[in-house]
Chain A
Amino acid sequence: GAVVSQHPSRVICKSGTSVKIECRSLDFQATTMFWYRQFPKQSLMLMATSNEGSKATYEQGVEKDKFLINHASLTLSTLTVTSAHPEDSSFYICSASRPQTGQETQYFGPGTRLLVL
């Protein structure tokens, strides 16, 4: 299989605090992990691409100082929302890719719902 987990599944925090979301590939080594944001009833918007041991590549319009990404190992990537504000409330989904002969398939985590009060 190709199982990706996220923790926590749901988090409520006060405005101004920081929140860390973990993404783990449980049964494979993921060379690349992706972080998406999904607003209600909308599609997934790619925030950043994370490769193990290197800096994340952020999409245009995504503040890298606000959304800190660390990819410390081949099975773990973290997204930290710093100084969170109500407009950061969203559903955050990670995915991990397991390259096989150049054919990339992304396996998605169950998502983390963030509510900033």
Chain B
Amino acid sequence: AQSVTQPDIHITVSEGASLELRCNYSYGATPYLFWYVQSPGQGLQLLLKYFSGDTLVQGIKGFEAEFKRSQSSFNLRKPSVHWSDAAEYFCAVAPGTYKYIFGTGTRLKVLA
């Protein structure tokens, strides 16, 4: 069955530190891959997406993600975290259909 795993439920980093959020998927082929961010009580904002081509994808707010086919991963990174980055982050895959499969989310806390 298709699935998306975000192994870290909570992550805490200090402001200015680097960040990596993990995402692994289970699917026979390469799906479309997405990262979204959700602030409390808000909808989801698209950070970046991967469809094909360059496996290192640049997104908004200084985020980037790298698709690694051999590891079935699409990890999100940011070199220097800002306090405003505190939010819930969701990885999603679209396995060739219109539907998304969401991971369970990673809640990021940023220490001043």
Contact = CB atoms under 8 A, between A and B. Distances in A.
A46 to B, nearest CB: 6
Contact of A110 (B42, B46, B98): B42
Contact of A108 (B43, B99, B104): B43
A107 B98 contact: no
A111 B42 contact: yes
Contacts of A111: 41-43
Contacts of B51: 103
Contacts of B34: 105
B94 A104 contact: yes
Given A43-B90, A111-B42, A111-B43, A106 B105 contact: no
Contacts of B41: 91, 111, 113
Contacts of A106: 100
Contacts of B102: 43-44
Interface of A: 4, 6, 32, 34, 41-44, 46, 49, 91, 93, 95, 97, 103-111, 113
Nearest to A46: B99
A104 B41 CA distance: 25
Interface in B5-47: 32, 34, 36, 41-46
B104 A110 contact: no
A107 B90 contact: no
Given A43-B104, A44-B90, A103 B98 contact: no
Question: Max chain A CB contacts within 10 Å: which of B43, B94, B105?
Answer: B43
B103 A43 contact: yes
13 contacts: A34-B100, A41-B107, A43-B90, A43-B103, A44-B102, A46-B99, A49-B98, A91-B41, A95-B44, A104-B32, A105-B34, A108-B46, A110-B42
A42 B42 contact: no
Question: Max chain B CB contacts within 10 Å: which of A43, A93, A105, A110?
Answer: A43
Nearest to A110: B43
